[in-house]
């Protein structure tokens, strides 16, 4: 318990499992014996034996499952534990989970992004469970001197099927660990799954209900100092000079140090650090983007779309098809969306302790490997001298895939020679995000003589995460260039504008804006042809059986085509991101100047379901998240700086506005798809299309603002 941070990586794993710690890194929290064990009372006091990178078995029969990913609410801890436990045949009530450190045995890059945890772990983790199970069986068979085929595993024990004898895993672990692993562990047939496919309660719920769950921001270590950083309000700007005399006089302020992103104030508590920061007198060199406003950027993007861009998709001859269409069969429209902040509930933060020969980092991060790289870069320490502790994230949504805040904390600790917790204020979080990029798409399209959509030409202007560079950024056009509709003529072009605003992954990434653009403009074409939105989509998705099935399930469940109250309308949208297939029907009306979303029906085919309760949670979550963007969110700029500061002017969906979401999981035996980002893209267009159906108003810009009524 006292050997804090001095252990090499491997001992850390052993101690973490065998020590009196809980989930995460409880041995670094001596004052908090229950820093988040996944099951009350399972603190694994007994000696534990490592069977493989993911599974340790204690002599007390408690099984520790190592979750090499991270938890931001998406249910990874529970779902990955289910994959391991399904094949291990352990007793689900006698497991505990733990986040290991960064280690190559968990793959090249540890992190959670792209809704990839289940997809990437589906085979490896079941195989790890099966491998451990077969070794436990082999150990029992040797003990009984029978063939392994005469044994089977069941609820944490091996049963001798001939004699009926029974040996608990805890009594077999030592012998099993000494055996060579089977080369080809046999995986269960899905028909035999006992855990997978069932709504197992989340392992992290109890700790998240009694306040003991340890988030990154809750880290406490001896001698801890607290810091905030003043950063240049203009993107691309830098520190010119600072006068910290007044800041140093603030009660409880300990130090002021310059770091690469600005000026850090270090204090005895976070509040004092914030007071100290307010007392700094700083002159910034604002740099070359100081003249930007969000309006000027949007005009620049829009002007770009008037010129040909790089070709991202070409089917048939869209330009000719549209040019030859009569005015009545041609539709043109310009769509745009703003920059968006992620606004996770837990503001960015990181605790770091840099010493001459080592560096420890405690972080709520989506990118453990990225955090390790950041710490190595700042300290110049080798990999084996850097330890990353993974803690629960209070939301991530893509923001925590970055490691800027980790590098900052490590810089401060290195400068002051003491452990420090860096906390971003909500204003920092809102004004120094890496934003979902603003984007403009100029569309033209044509319908055929029967009124069906026949041609679409789209020119997108959307900054790439990789900065200004030639060529098509596939991430910026995903959901547009690869739209699933079988249009005879489709042309997509791309421009990469230099806007100087930091941009990065935001839940569902390019799909977050492009599905709004695609599904809304398609709806315009369908309306121009006088066709039914469901029937037209069905025709254009005839070659996409999984989307088609989701569409049919959602439409039927929502009662598509049945009468609605006066003033209500229904809208449709589909999305096929992250290997899953969703269809949504939104029902909306207008109350004075406000769009009211009454109900959303969402059907999802995400392949083999691991935990249907978590799937339903994620579908609802993604819809509420996307609805904030559809109805509320916009980051705007004046003088190169962000105007919005907090939830007061960057508001999000709150309880009274949250719709009822009706989730339908389409049964599937396909390999699992992702789920965390599946439902976010479709909600904005489903609402916009429903608004059109209800009122005739076509929303071509997010967030949706109704036209002023006179």
Partner 1 sequence: MAVEFTLNGSRRTVDAPAEMPLLWVLRDTLGLTGTKFGCGLSQCGACTVHLDGRAVKSCSVPMRNVAGKAVTTIEGLSAGGPHPVQQAWVALDVPQCGYCQAGQIMAASALLARTPSPTDADIDLAMRGNICRCGTYEAIRAAIHRAATLAQGGAR
Q: Which residues bind partner 1 (CB under 8 A)?
A: 31, 71-75, 201-202, 204-215, 217-218, 220, 226, 251, 268-272, 274, 343-347, 392-397, 423, 425-426, 613, 617, 620-625, 646-648, 652-656, 658, 660-661
Helices marked H in 315-451: 318-323, 368-379, 404-416, 426-431
Query: Considering beta carbons, is residue 424 or 517 the nearer one to partner 1?
Result: 424
**CB 637, min distance to partner 1, A:** 21
Q: Please report how close the Cβ of residue 132 comes to partner 1 at its closest, in angstroms.
A: 28
DSSP string, 445-473: EEE-TTS-EEEEEEEEE---TT-S-SS--
Query: Could you tell me if 78 and 200 are in contact, meaning their C-beta atoms sit under 8 angstroms apart?
Result: yes
- Kindly tell me which of 356 and 660 has the beta carbon lying closer to partner 1: 660
Pick between residue 210 and residue 670 the one whose CB is nearest to partner 1: 210
Residue 243: closest CA among 228, 261, 256: 256
The smaller minimum CB distance to partner 1, of residues 43 and 204, is found at 204
- Pick the closer one to partner 1 by CB: 344 or 672: 344
CA angle, 597 then 600 then 601, to 5°: 165
| Nearest alpha-carbon partner for 685 in 395, 483, 448 | 483
Structure tokens at 67: 């979750």
Closest C-alpha to 355, from 385, 311, 313, 327 = 385
From the CB of 481, what's the least distance to partner 1, in Å? Answer: 29
* Rounded Cα gap, residues 448 and 326, in angstroms: 10
Instruction: Name the residue nearer to partner 1 (CB basis): 204 or 372.
Output: 204
Cis amide bond preceding 703, omega within 30: yes
Nearest-approach distance from CB 435 to partner 1, in angstroms: 16
CB-based burial label for 9 (10 Å; 0-12, 13-18, 19+): middle
Nearer to partner 1 by C-beta: 220 or 698? 220
CA dihedral defined by 580, 585, 588, 593, rounded to 10 degrees?
40
Closest separation in Å from C-beta 690 to partner 1: 19
Q: Which is nearer to partner 1, 508 or 518 (CB)?
A: 508
For the chain, give the number of residues. 710
CB atoms within 10 A of CB 88: 29
Nearer to partner 1, 196 or 551 (CB): 196
Distance (Å) of CA 584 to CA 286, 343, 474, 539, 577: 44, 25, 25, 17, 14
Q: Which is nearer to partner 1, 210 or 285 (CB)?
A: 210
User: At closest approach, how far in Å is the CB of 249 from partner 1?
Assistant: 14
Q: Give min distance, CB of 266 to partner 1, in A.
A: 13
Nearest-10 Cα torsion for 264, 270, 274, 277: -20
- In sequence order, the β-bridge partners of residue 591 are 594
Q: Quote the CA–CA distance of 59 and 215 in Å, as a whole number.
A: 30
Q: How far is the CB of 476 from partner 1 (least distance, A)?
A: 25
The CB-of-618 to partner 1 minimum distance in angstroms stands at 8
Measured from the CB atom, is 230 or 547 closer to partner 1? Answer: 230
Nearer to partner 1, 479 or 622 (CB): 622
CB of 54 to partner 1, least distance (A): 23
- Cα distance between residue 130 and residue 126, in whole Å: 6
Q: How far is the CB of 412 from partner 1 (least distance, A)?
A: 16
Nearest C-alpha neighbor of 217 from the set 359, 354, 362:
362
Task: Identify which of 348, 383, 333 has the alpha carbon closest to the alpha carbon of residue 216.
Answer: 348
Residue 252, by phi and psi: left (phi above 0), alpha (psi -120 to 50) or beta? left
**Residue with Cβ nearer partner 1 (110 or 430):** 430
> Which residue's CB is nearer to partner 1, number 143 or number 426?
426
Cα angle: 551, vertex 553, 559; to 5 degrees: 100
Nearest residue (CB) to partner 1, 393 versus 536: 393
Q: How far is the CB of 200 from partner 1 (least distance, A)?
A: 10
Q: Which residue from 201, 168, 193, 206 is spatially nearest to 85, judged by alpha carbons?
A: 193
In the complex, least distance from residue 335 CB atom to partner 1, rounded to whole angstroms: 25
| Residues with Cβ within 8 Å of residue 53, at least 6 apart in sequence | 66, 68, 100, 103, 105, 106, 128
Q: Where are the beta strands (DSSP E) in 110-251?
A: 151-154, 157-160, 166-168, 225-231, 238-243
CB of 2 to partner 1, least distance (A): 18
240: enclosing H helix or E strand: strand 238-243
Report, in Å, the least distance between residue 63 CB and partner 1. 22
Q: How far apart are CA 44 and CA 260, in angstroms?
A: 43
Tell whether the torsion through CA atoms of 156, 176, 148 and 181 is positive or negative.
positive
* 410 close to 361: Cβ distance less than 8 angstroms: yes
């Amino acid at each position: 318990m006292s050997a804090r941070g001095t252990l090499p990586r491997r001992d850390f794993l052993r101690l973490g499992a065998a020590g009196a710690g809980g989930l995460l890194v409880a041995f670094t929290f001596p004052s908090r014996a229950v820093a988040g064990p996944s099951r009350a009372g399972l603190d694994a006091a007994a000696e534990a034996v490592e069977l493989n990178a993911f599974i340790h078995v204690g002599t007390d029969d408690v099984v520790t499952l190592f979750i090499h990913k991270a938890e931001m609410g998406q249910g990874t801890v529970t779902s990955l534990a289910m994959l391991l436990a399904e094949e291990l045949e352990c007793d689900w009530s006698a497991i505990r989970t733990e986040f290991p450190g960064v280690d190559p045995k968990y793959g090249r890059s540890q992190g959670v992004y792209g809704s990839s945890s289940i997809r990437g772990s589906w085979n490896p983790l079941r195989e790890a469970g099966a491998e451990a199970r077969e070794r436990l069986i082999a150990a029992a068979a040797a003990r009984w001197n029978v063939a392994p085929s005469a044994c089977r595993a069941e609820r944490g024990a091996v049963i001798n099927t001939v004699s009926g004898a029974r040996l608990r895993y805890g009594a077999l672990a030592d012998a099993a660990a000494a055996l060579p692993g089977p080369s080809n562990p046999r995986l269960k047939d899905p028909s035999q799954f006992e855990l997978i496919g069932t709504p197992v309660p989340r392992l992290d719920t109890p700790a998240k209900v009694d306040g003991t769950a340890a988030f990154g921001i809750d880290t406490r270590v001896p001698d801890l100092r607290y810091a905030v950083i003043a950063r240049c309000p203009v993107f691309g700007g830098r520190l010119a000079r600072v006068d910290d005399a007044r800041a140093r006089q603030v009660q409880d302020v300990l130090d002021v140090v310059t770091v690469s992103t600005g000026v850090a104030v270090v204090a005895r508590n976070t509040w004092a650090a914030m007071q100290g920061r307010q007392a700094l007198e700083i002159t910034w060199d604002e740099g070359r983007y100081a003249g930007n406003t969000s309006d000027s950027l949007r005009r620049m993007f829009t002007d770009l779309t008037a010129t040909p861009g790089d070709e991202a998709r070409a089917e048939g001859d869209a330009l000719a098809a549209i040019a030859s269409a009569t005015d009545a069969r041609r539709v043109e429209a310009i769509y745009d969306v703003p920059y968006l902040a992620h606004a996770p509930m837990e503001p960015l933060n990181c605790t770091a302790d840099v010493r001459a020969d080592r560096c420890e980092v405690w972080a709520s991060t989506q990118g453990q490997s990225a955090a390790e790289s950041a710490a190595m870069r700042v300290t110049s320490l080798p990999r084996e001298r850097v330890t990353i502790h993974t803690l629960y994230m209070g939301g991530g949504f893509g923001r925590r895939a970055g490691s800027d805040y980790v590098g900052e904390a490590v810089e401060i600790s290195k400068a002051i020679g003491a452990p420090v917790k860096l906390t971003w204020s909500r204003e920092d979080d809102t004004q120094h995000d890496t934003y979902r990029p603003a984007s403009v798409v100029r569309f033209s399209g044509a319908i055929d003589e029967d009124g069906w959509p026949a041609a679409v030409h789209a020119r997108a202007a959307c900054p790439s995460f990789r900065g200004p560079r030639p060529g098509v950024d596939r991430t910026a056009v995903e959901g547009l260039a690869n739209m699933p509709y079988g249009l005879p003529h489709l042309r997509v072009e791309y421009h990469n504008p230099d806007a100087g605003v930091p941009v990065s992954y935001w839940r569902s990434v390019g799909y977050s804006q492009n599905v709004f653009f695609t599904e809304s403009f398609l709806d315009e074409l369908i309306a121009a042809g006088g066709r039914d939105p469901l029937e037209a989509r069905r025709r254009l998705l005839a070659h996409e059986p999984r989307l088609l099935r989701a569409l049919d399930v959602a439409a039927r469940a929502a009662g598509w085509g049945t009468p609605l109250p006066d003033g209500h309308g229904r809208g449709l949208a589909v999305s096929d991101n992250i290997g899953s297939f969703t269809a949504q029907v939104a029902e909306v009306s207008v109350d004075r100047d406000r769009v009211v979303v009454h109900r959303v029906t969402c059907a999802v085919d995400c392949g083999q379901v691991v935990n249907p309760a978590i799937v339903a949670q994620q579908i609802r979550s993604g819809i509420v998240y996307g609805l904030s963007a559809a109805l509320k969110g916009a980051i705007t700029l004046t003088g190169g700086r962000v105007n919005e500061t907090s939830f007061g002017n960057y508001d999000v969906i709150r309880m009274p506005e949250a719709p009822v979401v009706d989730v339908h999981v389409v049964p599937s035996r396909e390999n699992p798809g992702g789920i965390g980002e599946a439902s976010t893209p479709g909600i904005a267009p489903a609402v916009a299309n429903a608004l059109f159906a209800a009122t005739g108003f076509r929303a071509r810009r997010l967030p949706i603002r109704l036209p002023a009524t006179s």
